[in-house]
Structure 1
Amino acid sequence: MHKFRVRLTVILMIMIGGSMLIAGVFMAKLLEDSHIKELESNLVRELRVMETMGDWNRAGEEEFLIPYYTQQAQRLKQYTEARVTYIREDGQVLGDSDENPAEMDNHMNRAEITQAMKEGAGYTIRHSNTLERNMLYAAIPVKDGRGEVSGYLRLAISLEQVEQTLRHLWLFLLTGLLILFAAAGIISYRIARGLTRPIENITQVAQQITNRNYKARVETQSLDEVGQLGQAINRMADSLQMQMNRILEHEGRLKGVLENMGSGILMVDKDQRIVLVNRSVEDILGFSSSELYGKKYNEAKQQFELTKLIQECIETNKYIREEKIFYYPVERILEISLSPILQAGGEWSGVLVVLHDITAIRRLERMRSEFVANVSHELKTPIAAVKGFSETLLAGALDDRETAKSFLQIIFDESERLNRLVGDILELSKIESKRIPLQLSPTSLDSIIEKSLQMMESEAAKKKISLSMSAEENLYLEADEDRISQILINLLANGINYTPEGGTVSVKAESIEHEGGMDDERIRISIKDSGIGIPSKDLPRIFERFYRVDKARSRSSGGTGLGLSIVKHLVDMHQGTIRVESEVGSGTEFIIELPVIHP
C-alpha cells in the first residue's frame, strides 16, 4: 500500500512538473532566440554606422595599415563596448581592439565572414578561449568607391547577460516546480494514506510475523471486514508464538548438545547438501562451517576420503563404519560412522555422519604396546645374562676361581643395571602420572650445580673427563631443588657416558631477557660436552622412552634409555623448555630455560 501511494504521488508530480518543464523550456528558448535576433540587428546597425564614419579603404603596406586600423578599432570600442575587428578581403586581420593583428590567424573561413560575403551580413555564436565565455559575432562587407568588397568589419559582444537572464528564468521555473511538486505530493499522499492505512497496518504486522516477530499485533478500531481480518491475524500470531517458543526451546537443547559433543556431527539432506555441521566437525576437518554449510557434499571443501564414504552410503543405503587417517589440518585417526536417514515411508532423505577422533586412543595403545615391548626387551637382556652365567657357575665354573669371580662380577653388574632400569621405570611412571607433586621453594641455582658436579666427579675421573662450571652470581628461582638436581645429574651422566676419554663437560647458567618482561624472567642452563654427537635425524626423537642413537654403546655404558625422557617430563613440570643442539663428532649441548617465578 505504501508503494501504491508513492507511485500515485510520483505520477501526479511528473505530470505537473513535466508540463511546467516543457513550457519553461519553450519559453526560455523563445526568449533566447528573440533576444539574440535583437542583438544581431543592433550589431549590424552599429557596423553600418562605423562603416560610414570611418575610412576603411586606405592603401599601403601592412606595417602602416595595421597600426592605423588597430587604433581605429580601439577608438570605436570605447563607444560600442564591443570587440572591433577589421579584416581585409583576403582574410588578413589588419586591426583588432583586443588582440595583436600580426599574431591572429586568417579569418576568411570564419562562419560570420563567409555568411557576410554571401548575404551582406553574417552572424555566429562561438566560445572565446581568450575570454572564456560565449560571444556573438556579427560582420558586414566594406566596399570601396567602385562598389567592390575591400574588407569586412566585425563586432563581437558577450552573451553573458543573455545567459544570466536565462539562468534567472530557470531558477524561477524550478522554484515554482518544486513548490507544485511539494503541494501535489502532500495532497495525494494524504488522500492515499486515508484509504490504505488500515490495510498497510495489517501488512506490516504480517511481515513482522514472517520475520519471526510473533509479538506484533494489529490495532483494530473497526468491526468491518478489515477489522475482522486484523483480529484473525492476531489470533494466528498468538498460536504461532506459542508453537515457536516450544520449537526454540527444543532447538536450544539440541544445539547445546551438538555444540558440546566431542564427536563431529555432519548431516547431508536428500538434495545431497550439507545442512548440519557442529563445532567439532570444524576442528576435526579443518574447515569452517561457512565453507561446508549449504554446499553439496562433493563440492564443499573437505577430505576426499569422507566424500567417497558419503557417496558409498548414498549408493548402498547401508550403515558404514570405518577408520581413516586424515592428514589435514593435523594427522588424525578418525572413526567414521555413516547412517542413512529414512522417512516414515522408507524413502531415503539423507545421511548422518559421526566423526570420532580416536588418535589419542590409538596412540596410547601403540605407546603401551611399545612400552611393554621395550620393557620386556630391556628386562630380558640382564635377566638372560644373570641366568646364563649362574647356570655356568652351577655347572662347575665355581671350581675355577678367576672365572667364577669374573662371572659373579658380570652378574652383579647386570643386577645393578636391572635395578637401575626398574628404578627409572618406576620413577618415570610416577612423574607421568603426577603422583609426585613439585615441592617449590626459592632455590640457589649455583649451589645445586656445584653439588651435582661434585656427585659426578668420580664418574668423570674414571674417563679423565674435565668438568667445569660457569654461572652468574645470585641466580635464584622458584623450583623443586631435588628435581632440578635430578635433571642436572641425568644430563651430566649422559654427557660423561658419550664423551671419549680426555673430553670436557661444562655447565653454564645465566639469566635471559624474555618478551614478557620482569614478570616472565627466565634462567637458561646449558650442559655441553665434547662427545660423539647425535645425528640430525635422531634429534626429534631423543626424548622418547628407550630411544637410543647407538644401542650397543648405550648398553655398554649402562644407560637405561629413560634418563632423557625423565628430564623432559621434569622440565615440563617446571613450565620450562628443553632443546638439543648437536653435530656428529662435535659434541652435544642441552639447553634448558626455566621461569624464575613458577606460573
Structure 2
Amino acid sequence: MNKFRTRLTVIFIIMIGLSVTAAGILAAKLQENTYIQAQRENMERELHLIVSTFDWVASGTDEELIRLYNERISQLKQSADARITVIRADGRVLGDSDHDPLTMDNHLDREEVQEAIRSGSGHSIRYSDTLGHNMLYVVIASDASDQPFGYIRMARDLSVVESSLRKLWLFLGGGLAVLFLLAGVISYRLAHNMTRPLEKIIRVAQQISHRDARSRVTVTRNDEIGMLGRAINTMADSLQRQVHRIQENESRLKSVLDNMPSGVMMADLSGKIVLLNRAVEDILGFAAEELRGTVYTEAKLPFELKQMIRECLETHDPIHDEMIVYFPEERILEANISPMARNDEEWSGILIVLHNMTAVRRLERMRSEFVANVSHELKTPVAAVKGFAETLLAGAMDDKETAKSFLQIIYDESERLNRLIGDILELSKIESRRIPLQFSPIEMEHFVEQTVHVVSAEADKRGIRLESSVPPNLFLEADEDRLRQIMINLLSNGINYTPEGGRVRIDVEPVEQEEGPESYERVRITISDTGIGIPKKDLPRIFERFYRVDKARSRSSGGTGLGLSIVKHLVELHKGTISVESDAGLGSRFTIELPVIHDS
C-alpha cells in the first residue's frame, strides 16, 4: 500500500506539474505573441506616418538615390529608434539607417517583402547576422498604387521581449518549483487520505480471506470508498452467516458420523480414503491416522473388503456382502459399498458402510438354540407322560402298584412341565420389561430372615446348614417380591448343588464410600455355598438360558435351566450387577450389588 501511495503521489505531482507547465508555456507564448503583435501594429502605424510625411518617389542614378534616402532615414532613425531600410521595387536597397546599401544583398526574396508584394504590408521575425540577435521586420509599400516605387522597412530589436520572456521563464520555473513542493505535500495528503481507508479495507479483506469473518470496516465517509466499505461489511456479514451455517452443518455431520454405531468410510476415484468415523476404528482395530489419506490397496483393511472396494470402483455397481474378520477379534461384518456421483455422469468416489453383525448373529444363534432347547425341554416331560399313559392304557392299570408308580411319574413330569412353562413365560415377561417393579423400602435383616425361612425346610431335608449375616437398620429400596425371587433362586441352587452336611450363607453389607462409614449408596448381597462348584470354562455361560453345568443332576433336581437367567434379568431391572466366583469342588459365591435408592 505504501508503494501505491507513492505512485499515486507521483501521479498527482506529474499531473499538476504538467498542467501548470502547460499553462505557463501558454501564458508566455500568449504574452510574446501579444507583445509582438502590438509592436508590429505600432511599427506599421509609424511606417504609414513616415510614408505620408515624405515623398519617397524620386528620380536619378542609384548613387544619387542612395544619398537622398540615406539622408532622410538618418533623420528618421533618431525619432523612430529603429532601423529603417528603403527597398526599390526590384529589391535593390537604396537606403539603410545602419548599413551601407552598396554592401547589402537584394531584398526581393525576403519573407516580409514577398508578403508586402502580395498584400501591401508584411512582417517577419528572424535572426540578424549583422546585429547578432532576433529582429522584427515590418514592411509597407511606399505608395498606394498598384505598381509601388518601392518599400519602406522598419526593424526593431526583440532582445527586450526576449529578456522579458527569460524573466517570465525564471519566474515560472521558481513558481513551478514551489508549486511542485506544495503539490507534493498536497498530493501526499490526498493520496494518504485516499489510501488510508483503502488500507483498512484491504486489511479487513485479508482477514476475511484468512477465515476471520468477524472483521469489519469502520465506515465514516459517504463517497465511493465509503460505499466500498459498506459493501465489504455486507459481504462479510453474509460470509459470516454462511460460514456459521457451514460450521453448524459440518459439526452436525461430524457429530452424526462420530456417534453412528456403523463404520463409515469414503474413498475418491483413485481409491484414496478421504473420510472415516470413529466406529471404523473400533470395528477394524486401526487408528484413523493409519487409514486416512492412504490408498485402499495399501491400507490395513481386510482382504475381502479390499476386493469389494476394487470391484465397486471398476463396475460402479453397489455391493452388499458379509465377511468374517479376525483382528482385533473375530467379528462378522456386513459391508455396504455404494458408488457416489456428483451428477448423472460424473463419479466422485465410493461410500463404504460397515455394520458389526456379531451381536446380531449371536442373538440369532441364541434364539435358534433357545427354540431348540425349549422344544427339547418340553418334549422330554411330554414324552414321559405319553409313554407311561400308553403303558397304563395297555393294561398296567390292573397292577395297582405299577399303576400308582406310573401315575406318580406322570404327575411329577407334568409338574416339571408346568414349572418349565411358567419359567419360560416369566423370563419372556422380564426380558420384554412387561413386569412393572413396585419399589419400596425393605429392612434387610427381617427380609433375609423371612427368605431363609422359606427354603429352610428343603435345606433341613438335605441336611444343609443355612447361615446369614445382616447388619441391623440396613434398608434397601427394591421390589420386595422380585428381590425375594432372586434370593430364593440363588439359595435353592446352593442347596441343590451342595452335598449333605454342607453350608449355604447369606452376607449383606453396605458398600462404603470415601465420605465416611455411615454414608453408602449401594448394598452388596453375597450368597455362597460349599457345593460342587462350577468349572472355569462354564462360568461365562451360566447366566444363559437352559445352560446347565451338570445336566443329569439338574434334571434330577427338577431344574429348568432358566433360574440364573431370570435372576440376571431381575438384577438388571433393579439397576444392579451380579457376578460369580467359583472353584470346582470348593463351592460358589454369587455377588449382587444394588443401588440403595432408585430415581423416580
TM-score (norm 1): 0.60
Change beyond 3 A, Cα 1:210–1:408: same
Deviation track 1:398-433 (CA, whole Å, cap 9, x = no partner) reads: 112121111111111111111111111111112222
Residue in structure 2 matched with residue 458 of structure 1 by the alignment: 457
Q: Is 1:258–1:265's contact at 8 Å kept on the other side of the alignment?
A: no
SS in 2 for 1:547: coil
- Unmatched segments (≥5 aa) in structure 1: 6-188
For 1:436 and 1:372, how far apart are their aligned partners in 2? 23
Residue in structure 2 matched with residue 580 of structure 1 by the alignment: 580
Residue in structure 2 matched with residue 592 of structure 1 by the alignment: 592
**How far apart are 1:208 and its partner, in Å?**
3.2
Of 352-361 and 536-545, deviating more is 352-361
Q: Is 2:217–2:232's contact at 8 Å kept on the other side of the alignment?
A: no
Residue in structure 2 matched with residue 309 of structure 1 by the alignment: 308
Deviation track 1:189-224 (CA, whole Å, cap 9, x = no partner) reads: 99997897566445434423423456756969798x
Of 502-511 and 432-441, deviating more is 502-511
**How far apart are 1:280 and its partner, in Å?**
4.9
Residue in structure 1 matched with residue 487 of structure 2 by the alignment: 488
**How far apart are 1:340 and its partner, in Å?**
2.1
Change beyond 3 A, Cα 1:239–1:294: farther
Change beyond 3 A, Cα 1:355–1:482: same
Structure with the greater alpha carbon radius of gyration: 2
For 1:220 and 1:511, how far apart are their aligned partners in 2? 74
Aligned-residue Cα RMSD (Å) equals 3.9
Q: Is 1:499–1:529's contact at 8 Å kept on the other side of the alignment?
A: yes
For 1:404 and 1:515, how far apart are their aligned partners in 2? 67
Instruction: Determine what percentage of the aligned residue pairs are the same residue.
Output: 60
- Unmatched segments (≥5 aa) in structure 2: 6-187
For 2:328 and 2:514, how far apart are their aligned partners in 1? 29
SS in 2 for 1:527: strand
Matched length: 413
What is the 5 A alignment of 1:179-198?
197=196
Residue in structure 2 matched with residue 533 of structure 1 by the alignment: 533
**How far apart are 1:514 and its partner, in Å?**
3.6
**How far apart are 1:267 and its partner, in Å?**
1.6
TM-score (norm 2): 0.60
For 1:440 and 1:569, how far apart are their aligned partners in 2? 16
SS in 1 for 2:591: strand
For 2:198 and 2:472, how far apart are their aligned partners in 1? 89
**How far apart are 1:555 and its partner, in Å?**
0.6
Deviation track 1:294-325 (CA, whole Å, cap 9, x = no partner) reads: 44445566666544432342244332111234
For 1:239 and 1:456, how far apart are their aligned partners in 2? 82
Change beyond 3 A, Cα 1:395–1:199: same
User: Which amino acid counterpart does residue 405 of structure 1 have in structure 2?
Assistant: K
For 2:283 and 2:2, how far apart are their aligned partners in 1? 51
Residue in structure 1 matched with residue 361 of structure 2 by the alignment: 362
- State yes or no: 1:565 paired with 2:565: yes
Residue in structure 2 matched with residue 543 of structure 1 by the alignment: 543
SS in 1 for 2:570: helix
What is the 5 A alignment of 1:101-250?
197=196, 200-201=199-200, 203-212=202-211, 216=216, 249=245
Deviation track 1:523-545 (CA, whole Å, cap 9, x = no partner) reads: 33222222111111111111111
SS in 1 for 2:585: coil
Residue in structure 2 matched with residue 411 of structure 1 by the alignment: 410
Of 192-201 and 431-440, deviating more is 192-201
Residue in structure 2 matched with residue 438 of structure 1 by the alignment: 437
**How far apart are 1:354 and its partner, in Å?**
2.2
Deviation track 1:323-362 (CA, whole Å, cap 9, x = no partner) reads: 2345667765432211123454745431112233444543
Deviation track 1:221-250 (CA, whole Å, cap 9, x = no partner) reads: 798xxx78x978976886797588568647
Change beyond 3 A, Cα 1:286–1:451: same
Q: Is 1:470–1:509's contact at 8 Å kept on the other side of the alignment?
A: yes
Change beyond 3 A, Cα 1:552–1:344: same
Q: Is 2:201–2:232's contact at 8 Å kept on the other side of the alignment?
A: no
**How far apart are 1:290 and its partner, in Å?**
5.6
For 1:371 and 1:329, how far apart are their aligned partners in 2? 29
Of 475-484 and 490-499, deviating more is 475-484
Residue in structure 1 matched with residue 85 of structure 2 by the alignment: none
Change beyond 3 A, Cα 1:575–1:2: farther
Q: Is 1:220–1:231's contact at 8 Å kept on the other side of the alignment?
A: no
Residue in structure 1 matched with residue 421 of structure 2 by the alignment: 422
- State yes or no: 1:477 paired with 2:476: yes
Residue in structure 2 matched with residue 267 of structure 1 by the alignment: 266
User: Which amino acid counterpart does residue 496 of structure 1 have in structure 2?
Assistant: I
Change beyond 3 A, Cα 1:257–1:557: same
Change beyond 3 A, Cα 1:280–1:519: farther
Q: Is 1:520–1:597's contact at 8 Å kept on the other side of the alignment?
A: no
Deviation track 1:163-212 (CA, whole Å, cap 9, x = no partner) reads: xxxxxxxxxxxxxxxxxxxxxxxxxx999978975664454344234234
Q: Is 1:322–1:336's contact at 8 Å kept on the other side of the alignment?
A: yes
For 1:208 and 1:567, how far apart are their aligned partners in 2? 65
**How far apart are 1:476 and its partner, in Å?**
2.1
Change beyond 3 A, Cα 1:519–1:508: closer
